[in-house]
Structure formats: C-alpha cells, structure tokens
Amino acid sequence: MSRKFKEIIIKNVFFFFALVSIFILGLIVVFLFREGLPIFKVVSVKDFIFGNEWYPTYDPPDFGIWPLIVGSIIVTLFSSLIAVPLGVLSAIYISEIAHPLMKEILKPAIELLAGIPSVVLGFFGMVVLAPWLQETFDLPTGLNIVNVSIILAIMAVPTISSISEDALYSVPREFKEASYALGATRFETIAKVIVPAALSGISTAVILGMARAIGETMVVLMVAGGAAAIPESIFDSVRPMPASIAAEMGEAPFRSDHYHALFATGIVLFFMTLFFNLIADYISTKFKEVGSATL
Amino acid sequence: MFRMMRVLILSLMCLMLGWGAAYTGETIVIKGSTTVLPVAQAAAETYMESHPGVNISLSGGGSGNGIKALIDGSTDIANASRFIKGKEIKLAMEKGVYPVPHRVAIDAIVPIIHPGNPVNDLTIEQMSLIYQGKIKNWKEVGGKDKRIVVVSRDTSSGTYEVWEKKVLHKARVTPRAQLQASNGAIVQVISKNSYAIGYIGLGYLNRSVKTIKVNGIEASVQTALSGTYPIARPLFMFTDGWPKGTVSDFINFVVSPKGQKIVKKEGFVPLY
C-alpha cells in the first residue's frame, strides 16, 4: 500500500465522518420543519407568534405563543444581567490578576460548575432557592423570574468565564508590556488594552452563554413556575418555550395540531438560537484582531 | 491488516452472540402514562419474580406517548390514564392496529394545599372558579387573607384532563396558573408554599400536604370505589387486539386479586 493511497483513504474517511454529522444535523432540521409547518394551515404565522392565548387542548384551541416567547426573552435577559458581569470579571481576575496558585484552584472550580447536571440545579432552585425567596420577600411563589434567572446564570457563568479567559489569555504579551512601558497602571492596562483587545472573544463568550440560557429546558421547566401569561413583575412566574415543549410533548396526540404547534415553537426557538450564533460568528470574524492575537 | 480484520470479525460475532442471548427470554414492552407507572412497575417486578423467563421493559412518557407507541408497534402494552381519543382510534385503524382497553385500577384526583392552610372544604364550583382565576383570595373561601397561587398540570396530561372534565367543566384555566410537569413536582411545590393549591393522583399523596374535601366528601379508597367521590377516573392498559400469550398472562395478573393488592399498595383504588 503506497503512502499516497493511505493518505487518500484517511482523507476520505475523515471527509465521510464530517459529512455524516452534517447530514444528520440537516435531517433533524428538515424533520423539525416538516413536523412544525403544518400548524400554519390552522393558524396564521402572525397569530401564532403574537397570539396571547396558549390553550392547545381546548375546543376550539388557541395557539398563541407570545407569552412563551416573552418568557424566554425575559429569562435570558435577566440571567445575562447576572452572568455576564460575574463571568467576565472572574475571567479577568483569573487570567490577569490572580496568583498562579489561585488560578490553579479557581479555573477548574469554575469549569466544574459546568459539569453539574441541569436537573440538579433545577432541584436546588425548586427546593432551596424557591422557599427562601418566598419567605425573604414574602411572595406568593418562589418559582419566578428571579429564581430561574439566578439558576440559569449559574449555568451560563462557566461558559462565559472559560471562553472569555481563553480570549484574554491569547492577547499577546507585547501589548501588556508596551502598556506598562508607557507608564500605565495595572488597572489601565486591563481596562484599556487587554479587555478591548479580547473584546471579540468576550462578546462571543457572552452570546454563547445567552444561547445556553435560552435553550435550557430542565431548569426552566422546574423553576420558572410555568404560567403562560405575560409577567407583570419580576416575581411572576413565566413559561419559556423549552418548558412548554418538554411538558406537553409527551401527551400531545401524534400529528395533532397541538403536536405540530409544539414543533413550530421549536422552529421559533431554533431561529432564536441560530440568530444568537450568527451574531457570535459575525462579531468574532468582524472584530478579529490582526497580527499575533487571534482567537 | 489481516489480523485487524480477524479481531474485528471475532468481536462482531461475540456482539451478535450476546445479542442473541439477551433475546432468549420473552420480552414485554410497556409504555405510557406516568400515573399508571408505579402500578405497572410493582406488578412487573412481582410478575418477573414468579416468571423468571419473562423480561418486562417499562417506561413512562405519558398516555399519549404510550398510545402512540402502541399504534406504531413499538410497545406491547400502552398504559393510559384516560380513554383512547377518536383521533387516535382513527390513526390506529389506518395502521391496522386494534386497541383493546383493559381497566386495571381507579384513580381519584385530590385537591391539595399546604398543611398550614386552614381551609378544609371546597365545592367543585369554588375550585372551578379558583382555577379559572375568578376567586383570587383564600378569604373568599373561608381562609386567610392571602392570594391564591393556582398550580396546575400541563394541559395535555391525563391528570389535567380529568380535572378539566370533572372540575372545570371545560372552562379555561387562568393563564397565571403555574405549570408543573408531574404529580411529584406538584406535591413538592405545594408542601413548600402556603399560598398554593394543586391537585394530584391519590397514589402520590403523602404527609407533607393536606387534602381538601370535595363537596364535603373526603377522598379515600372507599369513597372513590363507591362512586361518591366526584373526581375519579379509571386507569387502562391498552393492547393491540385481544392479548395472547405472555401479554395476556401479565394483564390477567394485574387484574387478579394479587395484582389488585399491588394497586392498593401503590395508593390507587382496586377494582374490587
């Protein structure tokens, strides 16, 4: 067997595996659309997305997912408000300020956080955080936007922190040295040189963290409370899209309107995550640093 | 290269042999309602003990999923906490499947509240108004001056369907109602929340929550069996056609006195 022949075989094997994974992903998307689109024969796209009433099992049914979309967006937004400062600042601390020994402890600890199964975090939110919130703030329910945002933030922090840290780490040493040589303090160097240089990587981290929050199912199912109404305060319950799909899919009669409506909700969710990923991609290519700093 | 091939073929053969060995015994697949699951599980365990050759594989997923699986042939028995729907029968007929219902137990659905809540008694009418969001405060039904937090099941669960039929009479649950995806989750939420009201299958009742009498009638095995308790429903196992062989034997076991003892132990109401 000649070397060249081997080379060709290896190349084709890898090509085949790459193709298979893309092909399977493609099939999933096709399936999603095939199962979701028939609902639009029953209800218009506008009524589906902006309808305020979600009563899929009644006769006549209402398929309006606006409260679910609002739920998803609010929960994502609030969890980012908590997770972004925590994630980015901890990344800055770990990569720029921390003593190497401290770094050795902190970095795996944060990454360990990513390994906690979401159902465990959900259970924590339900059994520990919810009663505590309810008692402390004297609320009718502890399963609300605040609770779910905190839990989702805990899940997003490791993503944001470790990707940001990689971005900060890949800022070339010369930048830092040049900054110090010009007489800048450590804070000035971090705030005006290192962070701006790593901004594209940090933005990508933030958006991927948000995408994780918007697609998370188990936590929102357990902790968000599940009220399919537009919330009036941050202590109201909401029902994000994944929670609705997970809770109802098991009992929805096969190929019924309800079943199709749940898949169509999946399509909306798909476009939202796709949108997040496209932004992440755009930012990381558009603001890519030239020269030795690349991520 | 040749040696590698030989190893590969050998290991493949071993794999197939193992596969074959696992299939020597008879296998019954059961899928469906999470309400029926505890009964099916306990019955399957007892049944497998006395019939070592039989292997019963059990999973939940909901009544709809169970019937779906029966229709596409991926299960032998579909557990359901509701009767089969017209649409599902039509789909089954198209595929040449003839679902046969077997009543295995009776389930009573109980409204529950936090143990600290002083309310003892509600009428169906009051509960209906609470779930529609028209009664918003516990003081309107004789309790403390506190907001009522309505906890409901997902609108497609079998438990919810019974609640909708027997309590709400097809009226819509308020969109502000909280949603929990299982009986266990409802118990968990109610036991921690003094504002809340929920409902569960009798089998999931424990000391962490307090039951409410419905129209003055306490939910219990006796009242559900006699038919005086108003919120009760039969539980089913569906098979494709009249069951034969092991499947028939298993269903006979579930409805036998021994099987019904299991039903009672799991907190449901036996058939006799």
Of all residues in chain A, the one with the smallest CA distance to B150 is A227
- CA–CA separation, A124 vs B194, rounded Å? 19
pTM over 0.80: no
Amino acid identity, position B203: G
Across chain B, which distance is largest between two alpha carbons, in Å?
Answer: 84
- Given this model, what pLDDT does residue A114 score? 85
* Cα angle for residues B214, B218, B222 (degrees, 5° grid): 125
A277 to each of A207, B36, B92, how far by Cα in Å?
7, 42, 42
What pLDDT score does B64 carry? Answer: 86
Is B32 at the interface with chain A, CB within 8 A? Answer: no
Cα distances (angstroms) measured from residue A284 to each of A76, A289, B25, B132: 21, 9, 57, 50
The answer to whether A229 contacts B176, with C-beta atoms less than 8 Å apart, is yes
Strand partners, B236: B80, B103
B27 and B246 in contact (C-beta within 8 Å)? no
In this predicted model, what pLDDT tens digit does every residue of B167-189 receive, in sequence order?
A: 998 888 898 898 888 888 899 88
Residues 156-185 of A with CB under 8 A from B: none
pLDDT tens per residue, chain A (295 residues)? Answer: 688 899 999 999 999 999 999 999 999 999 999 999 999 999 999 999 999 989 888 878 899 999 999 999 999 999 999 999 999 999 999 998 889 899 999 989 988 888 899 999 999 999 899 999 988 988 888 899 999 999 999 999 999 999 999 999 888 888 889 999 999 999 999 998 998 888 888 988 999 899 888 989 999 999 998 888 899 889 999 999 999 998 888 767 778 888 999 999 999 999 999 998 898 888 878 776 555 544 4
- Say how many C-beta atoms besides its own lie within 10 A of residue A4's C-beta: 8
Q: Which residues contact A257 (CB under 8 A, 6 or more apart)?
A: A39, A42, A56, A61, A63
Please state, in angstroms and rounded to a whole number, the distance separating the CA atoms of residues A118 and A112.
13
Does B142 have pLDDT greater than 90?
Answer: no
Structure tokens at A150: 């905190």
Maximum C-alpha span of chain A: 77
Closest CB to A250: pick one of B65, B172, B175. B65
Please name the residues in contact with B51: beta carbons below 8 A apart, sequence gap of 6 or more: B246, B249
H-type helices in A53-124, by residue range? Answer: 66-92, 100-113, 118-124
10 Å Cβ neighbour count for A33? 15
Helices (H) then strands (E): counts for chain A = 14, 2
Nearest CA in chain A to B182: A247
Residue with the two structure tokens 């937004």: A77
Chain A nearest C-alpha distance from B225 (Å): 27
The count of residues in chain B is 272
Q: How far apart are CA A121 and CA A190, in angstroms?
A: 33
Of the pLDDT bands very low, low, confident and very high (cuts 50, 70, 90), residue B4 is low
Counting one residue from chain A and one from chain B, the pairs whose CB atoms sit within 8 A come to 99
d(CA B117, CA B209): 10
Contact B193 A134 (CB under 8 A): yes
Query: Which ipTM was obtained for this model?
Result: 0.73
Cα A181 from Cα A188, distance rounded (Å): 12
